[in-house]
Structure formats: structure tokens, C-alpha cells
Chains A and B, each alone.
Chain A
Amino acid sequence: MTLELQRTALLPADGAAPQAPAPRRRRRRGPRVTVLLAVAVLVLVVAWAVLPQLFTSHDPLAGVPADALQGPSAAHWFGTDPTGRDLFSRVVHGARYSLTGGVVAVAVGLVAGTAIGVIAGSIGTIVDEILMRVVDVLLSIPGLLLSLSVIILLGFGTTNAAIAVGVTSVAAFARLSRSEVVRVRRSDYVEAAFGSGGRWGSVLLRHVLPNSLTPVLALAALQFGTAILAISTLGFLGYGAPPPTPEWGLLISEGRSHLATSWWLTTLPGVVVVLVVLSANRLSGAISQARTARS
């Protein structure tokens, strides 16, 4: 449902016109603080993923048993887990799994969804009908259920969890790209391209695709945050990376039994996930606003 709302928000709907002046006025004041914060969070997390050793000297997999279950302190910013591993180090190193997972998930959805959408939108007729009904069926299956079914087929693991999450967004990408292709295909310049003897394939590649992909890419940015959340969910349920991988969802899951005595084990990784997802959403909102304002 959230996806649908997000998708509608991204559509260059005709109804968007009356609201256009408001964002434009706001935009003149420059990027908001929240957007800057969102960018800062994402940059930091990407840096964690790329160069974790710059941020922590503790080993994420090997702990000091004598230091087990210590609260946050100067030595251990996020405290330690039941086997004495530094939680901050685990969160930092875990960024890699969540971010690559997010990228893979979005890539799967983007490539497969756009392909279906473009084929349906450009060919039309019965092919369009069939593909879109398939998409309808996909949309009718709850995302988590679909992810779980896919992951049971593929087996557990970070990449498989990412693919499973990606599959759930195929339908959203397909619908959006189809509607864009249909819109662009009827525009004058495409008609003109056909009129001047352009072949179907080359017109599609040169004119239709580039002009219909922008909102799709905006959806991709939004999907990134959703995917990180979904991958963490799968990790929490035990379908993601095997222990002792410091995947974020797994960290939260492993800490939940200690909720009453060692709050930091679930709370701090949870806060990180929330911040990253909110940041991704805020950023995609900003992109979308900018695009609406431009149009």
C-alpha cells in the first residue's frame, strides 16, 4: 500500500499542476536541513560500508568474552553482545550487507520491472493485457509473503534475501514504466520520429526509453530505503545472512531476547536502520519534489 502511495506521488500526474507553485516557493530557500541531514547519514553509512576499518578498530566477528554484555561506553560506543563482540563495530561492518542488499534488490526490481513495463507499454494490445494482469497478480500478493516464498526457493543468504526483496518491487516498477512509456509513445516527437521513417526498435531506444525513465529512477531511490527495511526484516526472521554475519536485521533479532536487561542490543542497531530508511525516503522525496517543480 505504501508502495502504491509512493508510486502515485511520483507520477507526473495532471493533477499535480495546481500544487506546483507551493514547492517552487519552498525550493527557492535552498535545500532543507532535513535533506542535508539525510544526505549526511547516507554518506556516513556508505563510508561505513566501503571503509569500515576507518570507523572502528574492533573485530566485528571476534569478541572478548570477558567483556560480554557491557553497556555503551567510551570503549564500546554501542556496548557489547553476549559473546563480547563490539556492537558498534558490528553495525559499521553490517552496513555493507544492508547497502549491497539494497542495491541488488533495487537493481532486480528496476531491470525486471522496467523490461516488463517497456515491453507492455510499447507493444500494447494483448501482450500489454497479459503482462499487466501478471503484474496485478504480483501486486495482490503481500510483499513479505512473496519474499519468503522466493527465499525458500533460492535458499537463505544475503544476496538471496536481496533478490527476494527485489522481486516484490518488480510490479511497481513495471506499472510505472509502462505508464510512462504509454505517455511518451503518444507524444508528438515520437509520432514525428515514426513519421520520418524511424524503425520501431530505434525509436524505442532513442526516444521512448530515455524520456520515460526519469520517474522510474526516482522510484528506484525511494525503493532503496524500503529494500533496506525489507532485508532487515528478512534478516530478523532468520532468512538472511547466517550468523555470525553482522547484518542489521540479524543484530536486532539476536538482541531481542535481552531486551529487558541489555536494551542497547536491539535499540541501537534499530535506530541506525530507522535513520537510514528515513534518510533514503527524505532524499527521494526531495528528488521527487525537485522533479515536480521542474516540470
Chain B
Amino acid sequence: MSRTPSGRRLAGLTAVVSATALLAACGSGGDAGGSGTSDGSASGTEAAAGEPIEGGELLYLEYQPYTTLYPPQSGFYPNGALIANITDRLVYQDPETLEFSPWIATDWTVNADATEYTFNLRDGVTFSDGSPLDAEVVAKNFDAYGLGDAEAGFPVSEQINNYVSSEVVDADTVTFRFSAPSPGFLQATSANGAGLLSSDTLDGDLDAYAPGNGTGVVGSGPFVIAEETVGTEILLEARDDYDWAPAESEHQGRAYLDGVRFSVTPEDSVRIGALTSGQTDVIRYVQAYDEAQVEQAGLQLFAPQTQGVNNSLSLRFTNGILADIDVRKAIVAGVNAQEVVDTVFTPNYPVATGILSHTALGYVDHEAELAYDPDEANRLLDEAGWTLGSDGIREKDGQKLTLVASEAKPQPLSRDTLTLVAQQLKAIGVDLQILAADSGTYAEAIKDPDQVQLYHSMVGRTDLDVIKSQYASTNRDANLSDDAELDRLLGLVASTADPAARLQASADAQQYLVDQAYVIPLFEEPQVYGAQDYVQGFGWDTVARPVFYNTWLAQ
């Protein structure tokens, strides 16, 4: 599926194994078998190129400036990219096999109904301000993330469910308790959303994490934020005394690079031009139409998958028009995701075949139910009483079948995608408009089902809870839902201790979303990076955020 020659791919796979330093990665080929993007992710890192060289600064061009460094809000790519490199987590999750292994926690126990987790911590870990990373501060981290703090402006982390309290057992043992089973908690401790911060940092309010205060956000990770120019540039410097990489990592000790310079470069053509002309080392967000340029220039292209809820349009069913399930079903049937992918994207963006990406945990194939069927769409709309007007747009009781979609800047080629979807919907008599507004108006409009009816978004997380993050009315609430049944089903995913029953709960939630025609899945979203051929060991975490710990420059 990938354009990369398979030989290079294989070499690359080996490379990722050592690059991300995962002893258990050998089985990953089978695990990620059908994924073009996993293939893509493996391509390029030719770590066989010799012994890593220490030193040098890497220039990384980022598409957008970060908005906050508060870990639970690391879902936004630019935030996550920084948090992934300046913080450590209790547990390490292999991005290929998704297996857990020790990191800051040396071992852990979970009780039978997943309401109590106990972690033993490794010794000698310090934050970059010199303070120790002990049970006390770990408890403080999770109390903040799990309970939130309205006064300081901290929301409850969408990844931590049913959290009640922490208990410091001794200096290197901490126990967390939950009001109900919280089977997703172990994975949550491995995600950027639970990046460990120093006690002083946690004393600040949400503003302390805002752009401009980056150098004050102190983690224990391999890099620290040394310089910041708001909205333009951030310099990460390696910590010389870093010595607590994940246990599985072959590479221990400090990062190979001396530093990574994040430079915000929003213009696509400038990022790609800087890469192909050799003025930068790595760029994020290589647009689909530029992938060929990167490959033709003989540079490395990585397309790791985000492995969660697919890039989708969520239907706001609390809107008058979309309250009718037949109209929703017609719109789902009227969208041809395959055409969108064929026209605008590349094989690195596989067509969605369900609510979740096929590499995500709990994926259920709903391809047949989501199939493109304009005849069925027309039939449903006819039956629902929407008759074709003279302008080719359906109407009912004097109301036009006009809907508005939100163009999402973080989503790849959102405007082109929506343009094609609008064209497809026009063929069944639905007028889809694309919201144009300044950022303030936009932020309000996307929270109003009468202003935006089709919401373009996705979310990555390698845990079954990811579906709850996207659709629960208490979390991201992509549908602006008032559907108690949906919340109940999502709640079960987050609160069922038995693994088999939990998988079933996720399947039930997916089935419900499909049956209710709440979602139009479009494609499985990768993060596409371009890098010079001398950049070695470039890696990423489970949701495709860049990890520079193993990266080195072979020149």
C-alpha cells in the first residue's frame, strides 16, 4: 500500500524497532499487517547506518503553534509533540505492539475489578529543576489530572475515568482508587495526557501552561524547554543527566541530539520547500499532494497512524433537520469516502471502514453499513418528505435542506474534503455549506447545532476509552449529544473491568453510532512527517506524536 519499496520498508521496520528501542517489537509486522500507514511509518529510518552519533541540533518545522502544555490537553498535535519530549510517563506503551512495559514505574498491580492501581516507582529520577520524582509528586499529578480543578482552570482529563483519590504508600509506592472500574487507566498512565510534571509546575493555574510560559513547565523527560519565542519557536535542550528511559529501550542515558528547535511554519509550501531544499531536518504535516515531492527528492516519509477514532464528520442530531434518523441515514449513504480518499489523499490515508481505525483496539468493521449508496439516500429523503426544489436542493415545509460543516484546521485538507463531500451531497439534493468565520465566531459556532451540523474531527488514543473521549457528552462531545443511551454505552466502555465484556461494550457503542447514523467516517488519519535522509532513529508514540529521544544526525 505504501509507495515505499518493500525492501526499504523492511529495513525501516528494523530501524523503528531499534529507533524506538522496543525489544518486543519483532511481532509487530503481523500486528500491523494490513496497515499502509504502519508500513509507511516503518519506512525510512535506516538505523543500520551505523552507531548513533551524539550531538547536533535538529530543526523541526511544525504546522501550528502549541496552545497549552497542560498534559491532559495534549490531544492537539503541537501540544502533544512538546509534552511527549519533555515528560516521562509511569508506563511505556509500545507504539507497534501496544504492549505495556515499565518506565518510571518499575511494576504495578491492578485489582480484579480495576478499581485500585498500585505503582512502584524507580529511584533516582529527578525533574529538570532538580526536585525528585517520588510517590508524592506522582500522586499530585494524578490528583490534578483525574479530579481537575475548576478554580485553577484544569478540566478533568478525558483519559482518566472514575478517579477518586491517590494514596502515597511510601516514597516509591503510590495507589490510585476509583469509584468504578477504570480499565483504561493503565493506558492513560502511558499517554501524553499523563505526562509527569514537577510539584512547582502543578501549583500553577492553567495560565502557567499557556504559550510564553513554556520554560516554566518542568518535566523529567529527556528534553527541557530552554527558549521560547511565543508563536514562532521553541528550543528543546537535551538533559545531560537523563538516565531513566523506558526499560525496554536499548538506548539509555541522555538523548543523542543536543537540541531540537521547533519552528512554527504554517505555510504548507514553505515547509515542504524548506525540506526539499535541505533547509530543515524534519517537518510535520506533509500534505498528501506533497508526498510525491518528498519521495522524489529521495527523502524519508513517515506516516504513522493515530490509531483511534477515524477522521469523521459527526452529525449534530439535536439540530432540527438532523433530528430525523432517515435524513441522517441518507446523508451517511450520500457520502463517498472512497472518492474523497482517491481524489485528495494517498494510500497513507486508508478509507475508514468503521467508527474506529482498523489498527485501533476494539475495531469493528462496519463497511457494509457505511457504504456509499446515493439511490438509498434519495429514497430515504423522498420518504422523509424532502422534495427536490427547482434549484436542485430539497425542501420541506418551506425549509431548505441546507447544512453547515466546520472546516477544521488541524485536520488534513479539511476544506478539500468538505468541498468533495458537499459535491456528493448536492447530488442527493442536500446543500452543504462550509463555515467561514473568524476564530472567535468559529469557536462559538462549532458548539451550536443550529450553526454547525457536520463537525469535522478525530481523536487518537490506543485504548478502548478513545470512543468515549470523542462522543461522550462529558468529553469532546463531537455530536453535541443529548442521547442518554449513547452516554450509557460509552460509560460501559470506560467502566467495565472484564476485558471481553469491555470489548463488547466498545462494539456495542460503535454499532449504536452506526445504527443511529451519528457519524460519517472518512479515513484513518496518519501524521505524515518528512525528514532528510541523514536523520536517523526518528520515532513516534502510539498516537504518532514525534519522539526525538533516539533521533541522531548521521552527518
A and B bind: yes
Whether B344 pairs with A82 at a CB distance below 8 angstroms is yes
Which of chain A's residues have a CB closer than 8 A to the CB of B426?
61-62
* Closest chain A residue to B423, Cβ basis: A62
Q: Which of A31-39, A166-174, A178-186, A254-262 contacts B (4 or more CB under 8 A)?
A: A254-262
* Closest chain A residue to B434, Cβ basis: A243
B437 at the interface (CB under 8 A from A): yes
Which of chain A's residues have a CB closer than 8 A to the CB of B435?
242
What is the distance, in angstroms, from B417's C-beta to the closest C-beta of chain A?
9
Which of chain B's residues have a CB closer than 8 A to the CB of A258?
269, 289
A65 at the interface (CB under 8 A from B): yes
Within 8 Å by CB of B422, from A156, A244, A259, A261, lies: A244
A222 to B433, CA, bound (A): 35
What is the distance, in angstroms, from B335's C-beta to the closest C-beta of chain A?
13
A152 at the interface (CB under 8 A from B): yes
A259 to B433, CA, bound (A): 26
Whether A254 pairs with B293 at a CB distance below 8 angstroms is no
Interface string of A56-93 (1 = CB under 8 A from B): 00000111011011000000000000111000000000
A65 to B342, CA, bound (A): 8
Whether B423 pairs with A61 at a CB distance below 8 angstroms is yes
Whether B269 pairs with A244 at a CB distance below 8 angstroms is no
**Secondary structure dominating the interface of B:** helix
Given A155-B441, A242-B436, residue A260 in contact with residue B415 (CB < 8 A): no
B373 at the interface (CB under 8 A from A): no
Q: Tell me the A85-131 residues at the B interface (CB within 8 Å).
A: none
Whether A244 pairs with B419 at a CB distance below 8 angstroms is yes
A270 at the interface (CB under 8 A from B): no
A69 to B288, CA, bound (A): 13
* Closest chain A residue to B413, Cβ basis: A82
A69 to B343, CA, bound (A): 9
Whether A257 pairs with B343 at a CB distance below 8 angstroms is no
B438 at the interface (CB under 8 A from A): yes
B287 at the interface (CB under 8 A from A): yes
A262 to B290, CA, bound (A): 11
Whether A261 pairs with B423 at a CB distance below 8 angstroms is no
Q: Tell me the A232-263 residues at the B interface (CB within 8 Å).
A: 238-239, 241-244, 254, 256-262
Interface residues on A, range: 20 to 34
What is the distance, in angstroms, from B438's C-beta to the closest C-beta of chain A?
6
Whether A254 pairs with B272 at a CB distance below 8 angstroms is no
What is the distance, in angstroms, from A242's C-beta to the closest C-beta of chain B?
3
Query: How many cross-chain pairs have Cβ atoms below 8 Å apart between A and B?
Result: 68
A82 to B344, CA, bound (A): 7
Q: Tell me the B428-456 residues at the A interface (CB within 8 Å).
A: 433-438, 441
Whether B419 pairs with A156 at a CB distance below 8 angstroms is no
Within 8 Å by CB of B416, from A82, A155, A239, A260, lies: A82
A83 to B436, CA, bound (A): 19
Which of chain A's residues have a CB closer than 8 A to the CB of B293?
260-261
Whether B419 pairs with A83 at a CB distance below 8 angstroms is yes
Which of chain B's residues have a CB closer than 8 A to the CB of A83?
343-344, 416, 419-420, 423
Given A82-B416, A83-B423, A257-B287, residue A65 in contact with residue B343 (CB < 8 A): yes
A109 to B63, CA, bound (A): 39
Which of chain B's residues have a CB closer than 8 A to the CB of A256?
267, 269
A65 to B422, CA, bound (A): 13
B268 at the interface (CB under 8 A from A): yes
Which of chain B's residues have a CB closer than 8 A to the CB of A63?
423
* Closest chain A residue to B435, Cβ basis: A242
Whether A68 pairs with B423 at a CB distance below 8 angstroms is no
B228 at the interface (CB under 8 A from A): no
Q: Tell me the A152-171 residues at the B interface (CB within 8 Å).
A: 152, 155-156
Within 8 Å by CB of A260, from B269, B342, B423, lies: B269
Whether B436 pairs with A243 at a CB distance below 8 angstroms is yes
Whether A156 pairs with B343 at a CB distance below 8 angstroms is no
Which of chain B's residues have a CB closer than 8 A to the CB of A84?
343
Interface string of A25-64 (1 = CB under 8 A from B): 0000000000000000000000000000000000001110
Given A62-B423, A256-B269, residue A69 in contact with residue B415 (CB < 8 A): no
What is the distance, in angstroms, from B187's C-beta to the closest C-beta of chain A?
36
Interface string of B95-112 (1 = CB under 8 A from A): 000000000000000000
* Closest chain A residue to B268, Cβ basis: A257
What is the distance, in angstroms, from A249's C-beta to the closest C-beta of chain B?
13
Within 8 Å by CB of B269, from A239, A243, A257, lies: A257
Given A63-B423, A238-B436, A242-B435, residue A261 in contact with residue B415 (CB < 8 A): no
* Cβ contacts A to B, 24 pairs, < 8 Å: A62-B423, A65-B339, A65-B343, A68-B343, A68-B344, A69-B289, A83-B343, A83-B344, A83-B420, A83-B423, A152-B438, A156-B437, A156-B438, A241-B436, A242-B433, A242-B434, A242-B436, A243-B415, A256-B269, A257-B267, A257-B269, A259-B269, A260-B290, A261-B293
Residues of A within 8 A of B (CB): 61-63, 65-66, 68-69, 82-84, 152, 155-156, 238-239, 241-244, 254, 256-262
Q: What are the 9 A-B residue pairs with the smallest beta carbon separation, nearest first? A: A242-B436, A65-B343, A257-B268, A259-B269, A243-B434, A156-B436, A83-B419, A82-B416, A62-B423
Q: What 7 new A-B contacts, CB under 8 Å, besides A156-B437, A156-B438, A238-B436? A: A82-B416, A152-B438, A241-B436, A243-B434, A257-B268, A257-B289, A258-B269
